[in-house]
Amino acid sequence: MSAKPVTPEELASEVLDAAARPWSVRTLVLDLEGALEPTVSALSEEARAALGRLARAGWRVGIVSSRAATDARSRVNVEGVHVFGCHGAEGSWGGRDAGGPSLGVRKRLQTLQVEARRLTWYVTGSHVEVKPAGIAFHDQEIAEGDLLRWRELVEDLLSKHDLSGLERLEGERVLELRPQGQHKGRVLHRLPRAPRGAFDASLVVVGDDRRDRDLFETLGNRGLSVLVAPDEAPTRAVRRLAGRSEVIRFLELLAEGEEKRVATPTGPRTL
């Protein structure tokens, strides 16, 4: 299926209508890299301001990242916003932390990480990212002529190790190993107030389909899944914004609408 393209104004109006209902969960989950970050830099001031306004207006806001939680938190840095690192393996909605992988998986990762770092000595531009719950082999900066050699070195290393309990996640110019069954969608399972069975458009998940398929699939038809992509593409999401600038505009409009609603008296009506 393909997602319905919408403007930030249309999406904000739909979500605000749902948020005004008494039983609404008013929860927003965004992928850091897929929805908010244009580069490897920190969030823009506009994004930070909008997220902070939503949190102060009573929304539960979560940011999920493939990066380590400490790295992701430093990039987000917004009071009241929950940050989940390592595909959701690190972080919480205010209760006990997820706890990360088992001891056996952590030991296997640690052994692999020591040897993986040495690979970068042999190929210029290669980078191994060590995470508390995973490891990523990046080749974005490797010259085309060295790519095959780098990938052969990585595969040779992996073939010599016990990878039980780990799964491969292949992205654009990156290969990542993460604990099996650990994906971003699990953050939705840990919500302190579980959504009702009925569809609620105030439960919103925003991301791109390459990184966030697990989020969209876990959400299913319980809430509003929003794909960030310039063009139509097969996806589990039901709405589509054309780019990250539209995501920020949507957040600003949502925050503005919520602030107005919170500030409006709701006492008994008089005739």
Nearest alpha carbon to residue 182 among 195, 165, 196: 165
Check residue 197 and give its pLDDT: 64
Q: Residue 118 has which token pair? A: 């040495």
Nearest alpha carbon to residue 243 among 214, 208, 218: 208
Exposure string over 109-147, b if 16+ CB within 10 A, otherwise e = beebbeebeebbeebeebbbbebebbbbbbbeebeeeee
Q: Residue 165 has which token pair? A: 């309990």
Exposure string over 181-208, b if 16+ CB within 10 A, otherwise e = ebbbbbbbebeeeebeeeebbbbbbbbb
The C-alpha angle with vertex 201 and arms to 225 and 65, in degrees rounded to 5, equals 40
pTM here is 0.78
Point out the residues of the chain with pLDDT beneath 70.
38-41, 95-103, 192-197, 209-212, 265-271
**Phi and psi angles of residue 169, each rounded to the nearest 5 degrees, phi first:** -130, 110
* Residue 224 · residue 215 · CB < 8 Å: no
Nearest alpha carbon to residue 187 among 3, 27, 22: 27
